[in-house]
Amino acid sequence: MELQELLYCQGFGTRRVCVGLVQKGLVRLPIDGVWQTCQDPWREIDVAPDKPFEVQGMSWIYRARAHLMLHKPAGTECSRKPSAWPSIYSLLPAPLRQRPQKSAVDGVQAVGRLDQDTTGLLLLSDDGQFIHRMASPRHHVPKRYQVHTVDALTPYQTDQLMAGVVLDDDPLPVRAAACETLGSHHLALTLTEGKYHQVKRMLAAVGNRVARLHRSAIGGLQLPSDLLPGQWRWLSACDLLQVGYST
């Protein structure tokens, strides 16, 4: 693959911009074991996950598809055009926001959405198959939430969440896949669907309200304790298997 093509497919700008980055001496490669500036945009490059390169001093590794996790902080919107709060996409470096796609939207996309006041694990990708696999209700990917409630929880409320509650826009009852009381105002709730404001509406349907909501896991993938709010990282092959996906 030509160096300018490598930069383009990884989201470093238009082809003209990528050629300019190389010609300005802003790209370095490990050549014969030594990091060297390369100013030939058409140099053939061996692309592989273990072949790093540097652009403007930042180290990158080639990835055919981007699969990320983000610890979504409160006060952010899962939208490219937020209405009142900063966008989660502002937390990502420009190349991840600009990776070219055949669809109308370039860059990685959030797999589902979390409300602006909801925190926790959010997946992002430019892999359409992965997005569909994670988001489609047909696949029943479990998502675990830590729910802190305004009022004390009762056995009746937790029983109803497991038995099923009817939301105002759907005549069919919605059930929790698992429900564990962790404290008088703390519930671990696992869902396999992704309806609008689902957790908040389910709690309202049993006569309670959500005070704080945090997504702690998707499938078998736990939000890492060392991934702080606003931080992101690449999903490893093991992480992908934890959510039931293999490349």
104 and 156 share one domain: no
Q: Which residues contact 107 (CB under 8 A, 6 or more apart)?
A: 11, 89, 92, 96, 97, 98, 99, 101, 126
Confidence of residue 137 (pLDDT cuts 50, 70, 90): confident
Q: pLDDT at position 119, please?
A: 98
- CATH number for the domain harbouring residue 183: 3.30.70.1560
134 and 79 share one domain: yes
Residues forming beta bridges with residue 200, ordered by sequence position:
none
156 and 211 share one domain: yes
How many structural domains is the chain composed of?
Answer: 3
Q: Which pTM value belongs to this model?
A: 0.93
237 and 177 share one domain: no
Digit-coded pLDDT (tens) for 124-136: 999 999 999 998 8
What percentage of the chain exceeds 70 in pLDDT? 100
Q: pLDDT at position 171, please?
A: 80
- 141 with 219: CB under 8 angstroms? yes
112 and 129 share one domain: yes
Q: pLDDT at position 139, please?
A: 85
Mapped onto helix, strand or coil, the DSSP state of residue 235 is: coil
Digit-coded pLDDT (tens) for 150-169: 999 999 999 999 999 998 87
Range of the domain at 160: 142-218
Residue at 179 is within a domain: yes
Mean pLDDT score of the chain:
94
Digit-coded pLDDT (tens) for 52-110: 999 999 999 999 999 999 999 999 999 999 999 999 999 999 999 999 987 777 899 99
Structure tokens at 188: 């671990």
Of 106, 115, 117, 169, which one is the catalytic site residue?
A: 115
Residue at 198 is within a domain: yes
Confidence of residue 48 (pLDDT cuts 50, 70, 90): confident
CB atoms within 10 A of CB 89: 22
115 classed as catalytic: yes
Q: pLDDT at position 162, please?
A: 97
Q: Which residues contact 79 (CB under 8 A, 6 or more apart)?
A: 87, 113
132 and 225 share one domain: yes
Digit-coded pLDDT (tens) for 219-236: 999 999 999 999 999 999
- 192 with 177: CB under 8 angstroms? yes
Q: Are strands 27-31 and 52-55 parallel, antiparallel or unpaired?
A: antiparallel
Which stretch of 12-21, 22-31, 61-70, 191-200 has the lowest confidence by average pLDDT?
191-200
How far apart CA 132 and CA 65 sit, in angstroms, is 14
